[in-house]
Amino acid sequence: MKIQKIKLHYQDIFKCPYCGKTLIPEEWDEKKNVCKHLLYIQNDSSIVYLSKRIRHILENEKGFNLEIIDDLANEQDAGLFLIGDIVAYPSLVEYEFYSEAPGGISTFVGISDKYK
Ligand SMILES: [Zn+2]
């Protein structure tokens, strides 16, 4: 399933297109930054935030053991799968915040207006 992908510079201030909540991956704070449209935040090596809905899909439909994935990402800095490449979710749009600095990593933010 093809999802819509949008590239943004990592310094861009990003607001949820549906509710206007400001989401800044670089200064991520789960208590302050979550809105109901946010499905996940990840970078190349770790999962920063995972909504219950996406966690459910990964564990129950895709068969992942997320505790092991978290361990792998933390200990080996292993290349992680991109959630947007494997999860089919209605109206999912994935924003990539990139840095052009050498070795700079990208942060991927998944958002959808279908949150029920
Ligand atoms: Zn929102």
Helix (H) or strand (E) holding 55: helix 52-56
Q: Map residue 71 onto helix, strand or coil.
A: helix
Which one has a higher pLDDT value, 41 or 115? 41
Residue at 10 is within a domain:
no
User: Is the predicted pLDDT of residue 13 greater than 50, yes or no?
Assistant: yes
pTM above 0.85, yes or no: no
- 46 alpha-carbon distance from chain centroid: 10
Residue at 64 is within a domain:
yes
Residue 68's domain comprises: 38-80
The confidence score (pLDDT) of residue 95 equals: 93
Residue at 47 is within a domain:
yes
User: Is the predicted pLDDT of residue 72 greater than 70, yes or no?
Assistant: no
The confidence score (pLDDT) of residue 113 equals: 93
- The tokens describing 57, both together, are 């899909």
The confidence score (pLDDT) of residue 14 equals: 86
Residue at 67 is within a domain:
yes
Mean of pLDDT values over 66-72: 63
Residue at 113 is within a domain:
no
Number of domains in the chain: 1
Q: 33 C-alpha vs ligand 1 centroid, how far in Å?
A: 10
The confidence score (pLDDT) of residue 30 equals: 67
Residue at 22 is within a domain:
no
Q: 24 C-alpha vs ligand 1 centroid, how far in Å?
A: 13
Residue at 6 is within a domain:
no
Contacts of 55 (CB under 8 A, 6+ apart): 66
Q: 35 C-alpha vs ligand 1 centroid, how far in Å?
A: 5
User: Is the predicted pLDDT of residue 21 greater than 80, yes or no?
Assistant: yes
CB atoms within 10 A of CB 23: 22
Residue at 57 is within a domain:
yes
The confidence score (pLDDT) of residue 96 equals: 93
User: Is the predicted pLDDT of residue 62 greater than 70, yes or no?
Assistant: yes
Q: Which of 55, 61, 17 is nearest to 37 (CA)?
A: 17
